[in-house]
Amino acid sequence: MTELNDGKPRKIKSARPYSFMLEQDTTNYGTYEKGGIVTQVKQSKVLNFKPLREALKDPGDFLLSDFSKFDRPPLLHLAFQALDKFVAELGRHPVAGSEEDAQKLISFASDINESSGDAKLEDINPKLLRLFAFGSRAVLNPMAAMFGGIVGQEVVKACSGKFHPLFQFFYFDSVESLPTEPLDPRDYSPQNSRYDAQISVFGAKLQKKLEDAKVFIVGSGALGCEFLKNVALMGVSCGDRGKLTVTDDDVIEKSNLSRQFLFRDWNIGQAKSTVAAAAAASINPRLKIEALQNRVGPETENVFDDSFWENLSVVINALDNVNARLYVDQRCLYFQKPLLESGTLGAKCNTQMVIPHLTENYGASRDPPEKQAPMCTVHSFPHNIDHCLTWARSEFEGLLEKTPTEVNAYLSNPAEYANAMTNAGDAQARDTLERVLECLDRERCETFEDCITWARLKFEDYFSNRVKQLIYTFPEDAATSTGAPFWSAPKRFPHPLQFSASDPGHLHFVMAASILRAETFGIPIPDWAKNPKKLAGAVDSVMVPEFQPKKDAKILTDEKATSLSTASVDDVAVINELIKKLELCRSNLSPGFRMKPIQFEKDDDTNYHMDMIAGLANMRARNYSIPEVDKLKAKFIAGRIIPAIATSTAMATGLVCLELYKVLDGGHKLEDYRNTFANLALPLFSMAEPVPPKLIKHRDMSWTVWDRWIIQNNPTLKELLEWLKDKGLTAYSISCGSSLLYNMMFPRHRERMDKKVVDLARDVAKLEVPPYRRHLDVVVACEDEEDNDIDIPQVSVYFR
């Protein structure tokens, strides 16, 4: 069907991963047989906006954010028109707490509504308009952050033409953030402080709660910087009794500066938490902040001990990985502390409120795991640039970090290394030894010219010989066992590259590879190495042997395979032979010879790391007719940079801080809290009540995942069993960690009845109880009176 080769965009339908139907008459086209590469083309769209004067009268459809407030946008549209009229006539905004001003604004709203014709509202909700009047003159940090994120993204859309603009009107309110108790008008009175605007909305009592809060912010990266700025402006932990603890074990990198705005060029290499804390304290000198450089996890429970968690008011996560989130979630669950969770991915963001006894915890629901490309796809059948870059990063680490590290491990203690490999006796040990031997024997470099030879031969191996072997094993007309074409979508038939020193891509790969190879061997790099003409001359002098394909080559095609190593019956014999050869190589090395492994560093533009990875990926992309990428795009993918932009980050943190008002005020119900998912690119805003925790009932008792049963006074095993018996529960198994303290099926366990539970944990589970720990936790499996298994809360046994 060669008529499709004119490059014009065409509409399609019934799109599947590897097939689609054309939305046009193909009667006179040739018959489609096979092949072809299709690229999605996004067509531009024209939006016609109404002038403001016209849009105010006829706003059209509003963009909704909260479906529980379906009727709210038209009401807020009316409220803002009434506010404009109030300001125009009185020259000021309504005063907070002034019933007279509120009634005047309600009167204006009523007049405008009466003259609205078909757009007239049945109920103008005076109660909401009263609250609107009270807060109309205040600028609140969380609202500014949230709307700033939205407006910032709209500005980028207007400048770039990328993503869909917000069409006409979007209204948002968070009335639920207001205190649950009615306030006296005097609570709104200004106190001549920087928080007067906030006090005029929430009152002085909530402001005092904010200032006295003990807050733990976990992480000080993109989200963490925004949170620290927000809480400093809100006055959180700025009182005499308040304290803000922030921790992050990371240091500032150059790529952080685009969105982690508390950092500057001169902070690169410094601890994130320390720099961010100093910046936040400069925003509000009254902020009581302590910066730590500890990762939050089981290994730092001596730092973040029981008393630390027990004294917290709230925890705010600013993390970038699920495992750390799950650990903090378990700690908050255990100590019954509110957890405010959020995350971003490009223009998307989400927030989740984890409130003791009201909502489910973060770990109660999980996203499905991300799909990874099968190993055979990455190594032999790539069909997009991500596959090429994944392979390039893997080859970089194998050649320049893992193999030199293995070489040094061998040279440091040859006998111990040989024993370990012999004991392993598997295909992985065999492959590792082969790489070490190759590095110290055939591929050992002593001069920079040796490094150029190595790089040139690597080019030939990667981009010519391996491809020739692949198409020898699987020719273009090869078929699978079912008779289907082997090279069918998504596989792309490859073509070997012919090296040319006049091709800048070819030469730049050899330059980067030879410089990095020299670095691993400690070889000085001559000045001419970076001169293309002189380098080309040296490369052209390299003798490249002619390639002969193997008839018995094994190429991985199983998509479920997890390793490239193939086991052999004589692995042990091969390993012993390799160790003998290694001993011979070692005798030829100078005493004290060691290699210098290279750890991948994406942010140094002068170290040639990204040059080599981009070169590897782009040459491989040429093999498979995949569009190449520049170094910046390659850095983004290979560096596994999670896309984070200031707009969605500002919005997420603003939404979380609106929830922080509710948490610190206390007394709010489940229906007052909001979880959010937003995508600023579409734009889409979806807010909903959090999900309540699962409730378990037994007798007249009920509990959720938030509950923890506590037994005091250092009980014996017998006392613990009787304590459970009083609740109508028969414990048939009690465990601590991975050890079984008691099981009713084992007669010898009855001998433990008079022992203290803590002593059993020390003796049986080998539990080391640190001096700061006052209790231990046991998991109890129980049955009720009818022999039904019943999940009970974790049981905490206090022994001090």
Q: Which residues contact 175 (CB under 8 A, 6 or more apart)?
A: 128, 131
CA neighbor of 308 nearest in space, from 319, 317, 300, 318:
300
Q: DSSP code of 38?
A: -
Is residue 213 within 8 Å of residue 287, measured between CB atoms? no
Give the C-alpha separation, 246 to 221, whole Å.
11
CA–CA gap between residue 626 and residue 383 (Å, rounded): 7
- The residues annotated as belonging to the active site are 376
Q: Which of 184, 331, 140, 357 is nearest to 247 (CA)?
A: 331
Q: Per residue in 270-283, is it b (16+ CB within 10 Å) or e — as a string?
A: ebbbbbbbebbbee
Element spanning 97, H or E:
none
The CA distance from 649 to 221, in Å, is 10
Distance CA 427, CA 569 (A): 10
Peptide bond into 683 cis (omega under 30): yes
| C-alpha span between 258 and 240 (Å, rounded) | 35
Q: What is the DSSP string of 693-727?
A: PPPEEETTEEE-TT-EEEE-S--BHHHHHHHHHTT
Asked, as a colleague might, if the bond just before 793 is cis with ω within 30 of 0, I would say no
284: left (phi over 0), alpha (psi -120 to 50) or beta: beta
Which residues lie closer than 8 Å to 631 by C-beta, 6 or more apart? 610, 611, 614
